[in-house]
Amino acid sequence: MGRRKRLAQMQSGAEGMVSLPALLHRNATQFGDAPAYREKEFGIWQCWSWAEAAAEIRKLALGFLEIGVEKGDHIAVIGRNRPAHYWSMVAAQMVGAVPVPLYQDSVAEEMAYVLEHCGAKFVVCGDQEQVDKVIEIQQGLHQVKHILYTDKRGMRKYDHSQMNALDDIMAEGSAGHARFDAELDKRIAAITYDDTCVMLYTSGTTGKPKGVVLSNRNVIESAKNSAEFDHLTRNEDILSYLPMAWVGDFIFSIGQAYWCGFCVNCPESADTMMTDLREIGPTYFFAPPRVFETQLTNVMIRMEDAGKLKKRMFRHFMDHAKKVGGLLLDGKPVGFGDKVKYALGNMLVYGPLKDTLGYGRFRVGYTAGEAIGPEIFDFYRSLGINLKQLYGQTEATVFITVQPDGEVRADTVGVPAPDVELKIDDKGEIHYRSPGVFVEYYNNPDSTASTKDAEGWVATGDAGFIEEGSGHLRIIDRAKDVGKMADGSMFAPKYVENKLKFYPDILEVVLFGNGKDRCVAFINIDLTAVGNWAERNNVAYGSYQELTSHPRVLETIKSHVEEVNKSVAADEMLSGCQVHRFVVLHKELDADDGEMTRTRKVRRGFVEEKFHDIIDALYDGSSSVSTTTEVTYEDGRKGSISATLEIVDAPVVAAASHKVAAE
């Protein structure tokens, strides 16, 4: 891109498009008949073209004017992925308001904090459940002027003086369009490239959530760059099922969708996501590693139950795919015989399997958020599914580094995305600068200043290094989690945790050892995988807790830990991080109990404090520990569970450069 063109763009936006409403207008006029949204309802995929979507969104914007939305107001959106909710966000931008999507599974007190912090006067709720939460919050807050809801069910008895169905304000808005048309057009015309596009709250592994303000420039530039990078066109189909409050969903389902003009498909309900995935067969797909792990586990479990012939065929061709599938995908040379065999395998195994998984039309897809197991990653790639990794943050409007086609590996997160500059400081922390860098944390100048410096460089909080030769970035861990063992060697918990989590039996691991002479670990088993194993091996269990303490389960986990210790010991820098002792926890770590964030990242400090008695026992050499743990039920009530946990000693490998007491 020429420098002059680029400068022009700085003022006027990419190709003259300064906002999402402008892009919507472009799409509706240039290819109004193309599908823009689909949602499965009453068992049938309902479809809206770009022209229809534009008309609906305009009605909604008129409705917002009718109920008195002012410029600069915040409109919170709480609900699952539905066209109406995406429309609410764009309609909010039309009237000069700021959309704030919230996590629909957050409990009332978390929601109260965010609603109060952004001062939302209007809230769009998905259903009665969300309305009830907002009403509960409103009793202490008194700031919400109007509640809107999408699903009318159960809402008839509510006091409707300050509450309406979204449909109704749309109807009212379109009936009164003569009064508001001029005002709406004026407001749309007034939107600039640097106006706020959206505000997203980061879940934050520490402290209170922060409101990240992203401008139209951030969103549109990021969407444009990433779309060009992967050659996305308006013929893509995506499935929108990830939380709307998460920056990724905003960029994929709104930013890129509006920039490219592709179709956003919304599942019928959270439970039907897998079926809907199969029916839509997205061409562009995003999922956290967990989704791919679950799918792979399900495939393996189902193969266990398959007939002998099928099993043999599956194994035979999967072995072949492992050998050449990845190479073929990367465009590397492969022998003719192997190519023919792969084509045969594609007909017999890979093709049908991809169809079953919903990846029949998969052109490009990403996984991010957590490290993905190399075996899982390679499994999908060997089938010919172009799965790649990216590294990003809300503050960067997602993209920091991405893997280009042909340079995909499980252990890196790729090269800097277009227009992104990268630097590593002397402490190993990664910094970046890009057109996607956020404007500020809302009402929080201190945090803004400590994260973003005067020149626009943002600290990621992650430690990593750029690999010589390839130029790929490798992440070691959260910078603040990287510590030192008592003897001065490096402590990088995530490195070990990820290795353990790659075993299907293990769902979550927390490693401790910062400042200590050796490492210990908490382990959560994966109920699906271990439960299936128990069923096949006639191991009886009555509850999750009982399964976690079964001697044979402990034995299996111990063997996993032993293998990981061997592989950790091979790395000179990190050999001190071997797991000496561990417990299998009696409960799953859960966001409702504050042990994880809503995006399912472990809150280390909190876990350390909550289970300090277990950690003490791990270090003082006792062979078991009795503990009582508080749990929160789905309806918000609290209770507690007690258990006696057995502590397991794991064999460690003595590293040559490192003295380890033999256990």
Partner 1 sequence: MLDSSEGYVTEDGRKIGGVVMEMKNITLRFGGVVAIKDISFDIREGEIRAIIGPNGAGKSSMLNVISGFYVPQEGEVWFHGSKRPQMRPFEVAQQGIARTFQNIALFEGMSVLDNVMTGRLGFMKTNIIQQALWKGKAEAEETENREAVEKIIDFLEIQHIRKTPVSRLPYGLKKRVELARALAAEPKLLLLDEPMAGMNVEEKEDMSRFILDVNDEFGTTIALIEHDMGVVMDLSDRVVVMDYGRKIGDGTPDEVRNNQEVIDAYLGVSHD
421 Cβ partners below 8 Å, 6+ apart? 432, 433, 434
Q: Which is nearer to partner 1, 455 or 635 (CB)?
A: 635
Q: Which is nearer to partner 1, 141 or 301 (CB)?
A: 301
Can you spell out the DSSP letters for 242-258? S-TTSHHHHIIIIIIII
- The closest of 91, 285, 298 to 184, measured between CA atoms, is 91
Q: Which is nearer to partner 1, 157 or 308 (CB)?
A: 157
Backbone angles phi, psi at 113, to 5 degrees: -60, -50
Name residue 637's amino acid.
R
Q: Which is nearer to partner 1, 4 or 157 (CB)?
A: 157
Q: Which is nearer to partner 1, 171 or 270 (CB)?
A: 270
Torsion of Cα atoms, 194 then 196 then 197 then 199, to 10°:
140
75, burial (CB in 10 Å: exposed 0-12, middle 13-18, buried 19+): buried
Provide the sign of the torsion angle of the four alpha carbons 386, 390, 396, 398, taken in this order: positive
Least distance (Å) between residue 41 CB and partner 1: 7
Q: Is residue 511 within a helix (H) or strand (E), and if so which, with residue range?
A: strand 506-512
In the sheet that holds 146-149, the strands lie side by side as 98-102, 74-78, 122-125, 146-149, 163-165
Q: Which is nearer to partner 1, 158 or 541 (CB)?
A: 158
Can you spell out the DSSP letters for 346-408? IIIIIHHHHHHHT-TT--EEEE-SS---HHHHHHHHHTT--EEEEEEEGGGTEEEEEPPTT--
Q: Which two tokens stand for residue 446?
A: 């201190």
Q: Which two tokens stand for residue 535?
A: 């069923």
Residues that bind partner 1 (CB under 8 A): 41-44, 153-154, 156-157, 268-269, 271-272, 275, 634-635
Region of residue 12 (phi > 0: left; psi between -120 and 50: alpha; otherwise: beta): alpha
**CA 420 to CA 473: how far, in whole Å?**
13
Q: Which residue has the tokens 């099928």?
A: 310
Strand pairing report for 44-49 and 648-649: unpaired
CB 63 within 8 A of CB 169: yes
Q: Which is nearer to partner 1, 71 or 152 (CB)?
A: 152
Least distance (Å) between residue 274 CB and partner 1: 9
CB 473 within 8 A of CB 493: no
The Cβ of residue 10 has, within 10 Å, a number of other Cβ atoms equal to: 11
Least distance (Å) between residue 267 CB and partner 1: 9
Least distance (Å) between residue 62 CB and partner 1: 28
DSSP state of 272: G
Least distance (Å) between residue 295 CB and partner 1: 16
Q: Which is nearer to partner 1, 268 or 330 (CB)?
A: 268
Least distance (Å) between residue 360 CB and partner 1: 19
CB 107 within 8 A of CB 115: no
Q: Which two tokens stand for residue 611?
A: 């289970």
Q: Which is nearer to partner 1, 336 or 633 (CB)?
A: 633
Q: Which is nearer to partner 1, 271 or 620 (CB)?
A: 271
Q: How far is CA 220 from CA 67, 101, 259, in A?
A: 29, 18, 7
Least distance (Å) between residue 238 CB and partner 1: 21
Least distance (Å) between residue 505 CB and partner 1: 25
Q: Which is nearer to partner 1, 3 or 153 (CB)?
A: 153
Least distance (Å) between residue 634 CB and partner 1: 8
Least distance (Å) between residue 52 CB and partner 1: 21
- The closest of 243, 277, 294 to 365, measured between CA atoms, is 277
Q: What are the residue ranges of helices labelled H in 521-637?
A: 527-536, 544-548, 551-570, 604-610, 612-620
Least distance (Å) between residue 243 CB and partner 1: 19
Q: Which is nearer to partner 1, 44 or 189 (CB)?
A: 44
Strand pairing report for 146-149 and 74-78: unpaired
Q: Which is nearer to partner 1, 153 or 427 (CB)?
A: 153
Least distance (Å) between residue 268 CB and partner 1: 5
228 Cβ partners below 8 Å, 6+ apart? 418
Q: Is residue 95 within a helix (H) or strand (E), and if so which, with residue range?
A: none
Q: Which two tokens stand for residue 544?
A: 């999750």
- The closest of 253, 251, 288 to 267, measured between CA atoms, is 253
Q: Which is nearer to partner 1, 268 or 592 (CB)?
A: 268
Query: What residues pair up with 195 in beta bridges, in sequence order?
Result: none
DSSP state of 146: E
Q: Which is nearer to partner 1, 426 or 634 (CB)?
A: 634
Q: Which is nearer to partner 1, 355 or 425 (CB)?
A: 355
**CA 634 to CA 4: how far, in whole Å?**
56
